[in-house]
Structure 1
Amino acid sequence: MNMDTILFDLDGTLIDTNELIIASFQHTFKHYGMAITREQTIEFIGPPLNESFASLVPAEQVAAMIDTYREHNLLHHDDYVTAFPHVVETIKQLKEHGLKLGIVTTKRFQSVEKGVKLTALEPFFDVTITLDDVTHAKPHPEPVIMAMKRLGAQRESTLMVGDNSHDIEAGQHAGVQTAAVAWSLKGREKMLEYNPTYILDDIRDLLTIIGV
């Protein structure tokens, strides 16, 4: 069956929020009197915030740290965030070709809305599934399955694209094809370890895969 639906992670896949995320984590840990390395923060890119903070601090401190993180992240969002090269024109071409497009992210809706508006991606997506919409975040398949239901998509003709193990695993658990992006901060070789169906060295590789 031909591919007719593509679901995308947002941060690190379509838009470059990496430095914003790193700065927000470093700000938050500093605020609470803790030091964190850049390498540690890179490991936090992808999973939900509560999971990342809970791995390092007591459970009762997590909620306050998430609030501090989000405050910094939203305040400085527009200073950092841009679309990755060729993303906007590629998404536009896919949309014009008739593909159903969705965003599946572990971010809250407020942050997602800022990102897609700032990068002019907002008009192209038929559905957006955020942390606010689900009980279980990626790598659980719930967000991917929810997006497919809303789009009327079939597993055999759906592709999940992302820059993190959570994205690839969520797609695999949902029974769809997957594509890992080589521009992930994790690096191309690390992304290949997750056994995606495809590896994208350039977002325009999607046009070849789909046959646009």
Structure 2
Amino acid sequence: MTSRALTVGFDLDMTLIDSRPGIRATYQALSAETGTYIDADLAITRIGPPLEQELRHWFPAEEIEERADRYREIYPTYALPSTLAMPGAREAVAAVRAHGGRAIVVTAKHEPNAKLHLTHLGIEADAVIGWLWAEAKAEALREYGAAVYVGDHTGDVRGARTAGALSVAVATGPCDAAELRAAGADVVLGGLTEFAPWLDAYVAGEGLDEGR
């Protein structure tokens, strides 16, 4: 493998950013606005799948599209200020660049909001592709020729495997290390602080067993 051809994809929520406080605040605002109870503390334990999937727990089917649109509209106001970069996020992206590679973000999140988060936190991606979940993430991973996809959810593992990319999982989201391994992750790391050393080994041709 040559470092010049290296493209690494990253998931966003709970991989590059800790969006739990912001998502919680947005659900609370939507609940107050609509008068519909939403257990925001429960909802943030299920981050990963598309927004509509979570909203089905709280709203009737005929309201989902409208409520999702409103959530995304108010999201920047409530979510951006309280969202933090995950430990090692900026360093992970820098590590890809240090090997002459490209870092792309492939996420189920509404793409404009994903871009706002990255800009706000100073995380510079070469491309940001939103609206893709689980196996559908393979579309973007294949398009950009990603050799590696890093994510925190079993859906991210499925997306990587569907694309034929190496699945590097970080146990920083709703799925623990055992779940990620059982889903077929090639590598499981405790978090992105472990990514740069792993990438060095991978580029040197030694990294496939790291983190197993």
Q: Which residue pairs with 1:72 in the alignment?
A: 74
Deviation of the 1:89 alpha carbon: 2.5
CA 1:23–1:199 in 2, change beyond 3 Å: closer, same or farther?
Answer: same
Distance between the aligned counterparts of 1:32 and 1:190, measured in 2?
A: 35
For residues 82-161 of structure 1, the aligned pairs below 5 Å read 82-122=84-124, 125-131=125-131, 137-141=132-136, 143-149=137-143, 151=144, 153=145, 158-161=147-150
Q: Say which of 35, 41, 44 aligns to 1:42.
A: 44
Q: Which residue pairs with 1:134 in the alignment?
A: none
1:54-98 superposed Cα distances (whole Å, 9 cap, x missing partner): 354322101221133223321123321121112212311321221
Runs in 1 of length 4+ with deviation above 6 angstroms?
Answer: none
1:80-126 superposed Cα distances (whole Å, 9 cap, x missing partner): 1121112212311321221221110111222012111111112xx22
What stretches of structure 2 of length at least 5 have no aligned partner? 202-212
Distance between the aligned counterparts of 1:129 and 1:2, measured in 2?
A: 25
What stretches of structure 1 of length at least 5 have no aligned partner? 132-136
Is contact 1:129–1:147 with CA below 8 Å preserved after alignment? no
Q: Which residue pairs with 2:83 in the alignment?
A: 81
User: What is the DSSP-based 3-state SS (H/G/I as helix, E as strand, rest coil) of the residue aligned with 1:114?
Assistant: helix
Identity %: 25
Letter in 2 for 1:204: T
Distance between the aligned counterparts of 1:159 and 1:179, measured in 2?
A: 7
User: What is the DSSP-based 3-state SS (H/G/I as helix, E as strand, rest coil) of the residue aligned with 1:10?
Assistant: coil
TM-score, with length taken from structure 2:
0.81
CA-based RMSD of the aligned residues comes to: 2.3
CA 1:114–1:168 in 2, change beyond 3 Å: closer, same or farther?
Answer: same
Is contact 2:72–2:110 with CA below 8 Å preserved after alignment? no
TM-score, with length taken from structure 1:
0.81
How many residue pairs get matched?
199
Letter in 1 for 2:50: P
Distance between the aligned counterparts of 2:11 and 2:158, measured in 1?
A: 12
Letter in 1 for 2:42: Q
Letter in 2 for 1:128: V
Deviation of the 1:39 alpha carbon: 5.2
